[in-house]
Amino acid sequence: MKRFEMRVDPLTHEIYYAVPLTGSALLADPLLNKGYAFPLAERAEFDLTGLMADSVGDLDLQVQRTLGNYAVKTTDLGRYVTLLSLLDRNETLFYTVLTRNIEKMLPVVYTPTVGQACLEMSHIIRRYRGIYVTPNTVGNIEKILENTGLPNISLMVATDGERILGLGDLGADGMGIPVGKIALYVAAAGIHPASTLPVCIDVGTNNERLLNDPLYIGIRQPRLTGQAYYDLIERFVQGVRRVFPRALLQWEDFGRQHAFPLLERYKNRILSFNDDIQGTGATAAAALCTAASIRNRSLADDRIAIYGFGQAGSGVANAIVTMMHEQGGVPIEEARRRIYPIDINGLLVEGMKAEDYQANFVQPKSVIADWPVSKDRSPSLAEVVKHGKITILIGLSTQAGAFDENILKTMGENTDRPIILALSNPTNRSETTPEAVMKATNGRALVATGSPYAPFAGPDGKMMVTSQCNNLYMFPGMGLGAIVCQATRITHRMFHAASCAVSSMVTAEQRAKGMLLPELTNIRDVSFTVALAVAKQAREDGYGMIASDEHLAKLIRDAMWEPHYYPYRRVKLD
């Protein structure tokens, strides 16, 4: 049964919820619960009289009470549990609190705290959210989707829990990631929470700690592999297409051996993208676009090393290639040769074993022929930076301290204004810190990081602000734009348009401070700007609604939900 429908009164044009639930069942539904903000008339109509104190409050008073409770928590995990419990009780209140405090609460609802929460999810979970799909239940996927009771789903975030942040295989405990991503879609882009759905594709886990934990909530078996795994995903996608055919599906935190095949297999069959690959790439490209503007030089003039060439690293590489090609007219193959991919065994050089997604970036042996390094092994990170004369260094390795003082000083010798993007998170896995970069380069570098860092005093005593290269700049607006313009697919050019849109929002004053991305306090404006750029690019490429810029902008603005309580009318629904 549907939990509610959004309707418009034909006479007064009032938007209201048609709700069949009453009494304690209504109070227990987090999408519909208003707490003591239920007006007296609705309390009478929905059998709520006497189920709460007589006083009637409003959303602002509820926010005040929530912030008071939040303030007394002494740990980030405690704050996370407080907010998750609020989400489980009253979604409108949760999103009001989060939207008004997005910059302060972002590190709690997502990285880095969500990583710690996922490590302990089976021990802290209070209420299941979204849906869990397993080998035992996937045959009934259509029924599972209908069991949500939601009138329509526009957006799903799905994970199989194999590669949660830098923490590895967390199985069903990885559900904290889709839940967190959905929260950010709603807060940052205004996608209505009732049209979103977090999904855990629980195919087992190879994590012995979880398998031996009596409280573990996932299925207790080794991970499904081979054709059986892909058959399950196929059945899941079929169900989504049948029940919610226009929904966008975001693949999240899949292992590298599955992430690329799934993205390739379904990119033309269902509206979908992989944020770890494409979102990370587009956000890094936005930061590099700003850096190029600050330095007044084209990216085509740079030599770029990417340390950690997994799915995120390859996503960044492809985004850079697209930017060089679209902005500078650099041929694709030539752009690829300007990127030096470095994995665990060193620089990827011709003759080495490489994954399919790495193959296009493998450097020919001729590149290192004149380097004074041993030819019995692949050049190390330090050797690549020195002999490759690297001017842009990007880290996605999750190797804390990998960019040591020697490497950073070499970067400062290679160019007047080196660009360092240490994008691994959480914070304790970052390749370096902004302070270390500025100290080694005498304050000349342009820096962005994957995790948040507090402002600090640079070598000249001037306070420096480090941009956080957070995918929040990208995926909410991408999802919003694609859904509103009714896109049939998501392309590299749409992500490139999003990168340019984000970079264009960095003001001259911010650029003068070395900031590479706009402030997160303006995230709703960022999401709108990205959504419009995406919708326009989809239109130009023939994959989206044909409408004027002005009409697209109005549709996007109208689609951005602001948290508030709608009036309810008691109605029996089928």
Give the single-character DSSP code of 473.
G
Structure tokens at 66: 């929530």
Give the single-character DSSP code of 363.
B
Give one DSSP letter per residue of 47-59, joined into a string.
Answer: T-TTSS-S----H
110 labelled catalytic:
yes
* Half-sphere exposure at residue 178, Cβ-oriented, CA atoms within 13 angstroms: 30
| Number of helices (H), then strands (E), in the chain | 24, 17
Q: In angstroms, how far is the first alpha carbon of the chain from the final one? A: 6
Helix (H) or strand (E) run with residue 27 in it: helix 23-27
Among 165, 159, 152, 216, which Cα is nearest to 182's? 159
Give the single-character DSSP code of 279.
I
Q: Are 446 and 284 in contact (CB under 8 A)?
A: no
Among 332, 387, 339, which Cα is nearest to 362's? 339
CA distances from 538 to 221, 453, 485 (A): 42, 35, 8
181 labelled catalytic:
yes
- Residue 403's contacts (CB-CB under 8 Å, 6 or more residues apart) are 307, 393, 395, 420, 422, 431, 432, 436, 437
Strands 346-347 and 339-343, sheet pairing: antiparallel
At 454, is the secondary structure helix, strand, or coil?
coil
* Half-sphere exposure at residue 292, Cβ-oriented, CA atoms within 13 angstroms: 22
**Selected catalytic residue, list 34, 181, 386, 536:** 181
**Selected catalytic residue, list 110, 185, 216, 266:** 110
d(CA 317, CA 542) in angstroms, rounded, equals 26
Q: Are 305 and 388 in contact (CB under 8 A)?
A: yes
| Angle, vertex CA 359, rays to CA 357 and CA 363, nearest 5 | 135
Among 188, 178, 38, 32, which Cα is nearest to 100's? 188
Structure tokens at 368: 């290192």
Q: Which residues are catalytic?
A: 110, 181
